Structure 1
Amino acid sequence: MQTGQFASAPEAVRLIVSREGFKGLYAGYGSFLLRDLPFDAIQFCIYEQLLLGYKLAARRKLSNAENAIIGAFAGGITGAITTPLDVIKTRLMVQGSSTHYKGICDCVKTIAREEGIHTLFKGMGPRVLWIGIGGSIFFGVLESTKEVLAQRHSKDQDSSSFKLG
């Protein structure tokens, strides 16, 4: 639907299954995992390292805004690093039943040969911006949620020890 090939989700499912079979619904799934698994691992590692470094430098508890800014940097950096994986995933998913690319490696080779290696970095700017914003929101909310849960846990512990004593 993102490519404008279908008018609705039900139509997309019906046409894809009729043309390519049920497996057509999973076109590019391997490249999706190739993009998302490293993305998540890299983003969390970068976030944690930036967070630890900033906390050491600041020598205090960080504000929600600071956590969100660190999350934005982690998201943006990760978005830039994984842009080639996103390009590959997108190309494999939108090719449909055509076999322009015969898999991940063939996709990389074909893009490099026909369009140049720089093509693997197309869309990096908007991707960095979008994922930076998402990282800011995600990690800001994550840290706020952790704080709320820790406070609740602390209150629960206090009331439990009061009842026992």
Structure 2
Amino acid sequence: MQTSSYGSAATSLATAKMVLKHDGIKGLYRGFGITIMREIPFTSLQFPLYEFLKYRLSLAMGARRLHASEGRDMRVGPPSTGSLSFLTGWLRNIKDPTSKMPSLLSRSRQIYIDEGMKALFAGVVPRTLWISAGGAVFLGAYEWVMGGLVDR
């Protein structure tokens, strides 16, 4: 879908070649900085929050060790990934490769002034729902692997 902005017959390879021709290697990494600014906080907080919620659930269930399926259920996995995706989701809305705004703050301020608070959080609900569902699967797989490694 993104390559279609370069023409209906554009392929990923053709688009990459066009970007390289017009913008050089930097063109391939446009938006990388803001993506990292979103992903590092999300990833850095995901596991500690998940483990904290798992710990609280364990206490509520009599301080017993939780089974892998309990770690990924709706009480732990989705809330940990969903809440973080909501909090960091607005960062995806300030990615604008054509913007000459030098900083995150100035770009955020400009969107707020031009389009309002709603524009900063556009698409956050679908992203939160998608990442919450993904969190249940991802963290369930994590628990399954960790259970296999720890129980050996």
Map of 1:130 onto structure 2: 130
Any stretches of 5+ residues in structure 1 without a counterpart?
Answer: 153-165
Alpha-carbon offset, residue 35 of structure 1: 0.4
Any stretches of 5+ residues in structure 2 without a counterpart?
Answer: none
Map of 2:11 onto structure 1: 8
Amino acid at match of 2:137: I
Distance 1:75 1:110 in 2: 28
Distance 1:45 1:142 in 2: 14
Alpha-carbon offset, residue 3 of structure 1: 6.2
Amino acid at match of 2:120: L
Contact 2:3–2:11 at 8 Å: present in 1 too? no
Distance 2:121 2:3 in 1: 19
**Percent of counterpart pairs with the same letter?**
32
Alpha-carbon offset, residue 100 of structure 1: 5.2
**2:92 corresponds to 1:80:** no
SS in 2 for 1:4: helix
- In terms of fraction of residues, the more helix-rich structure is 1
Map of 2:44 onto structure 1: 41
**2:64 corresponds to 1:60:** yes
Alpha-carbon offset, residue 99 of structure 1: 3.5
**2:142 corresponds to 1:139:** no
Amino acid at match of 2:64: R
State which structure, 1 or 2, has the greater radius of gyration over its C-alpha atoms: 1
Amino acid at match of 2:17: R
**What do residues 124-158 of structure 1 show as CA deviations (whole Å, max 9, x unaligned)?**
11111110011111111111111111223xxxxxx
Distance 2:3 2:130 in 1: 19
SS in 1 for 2:109: helix
Distance 2:4 2:64 in 1: 50
Q: TM-score, normalised by structure 1?
A: 0.80
Distance 1:118 1:42 in 2: 25
Alpha-carbon offset, residue 106 of structure 1: 2.8
Q: TM-score, normalised by structure 2?
A: 0.87
Aligned-residue RMSD, C-alpha: 1.7
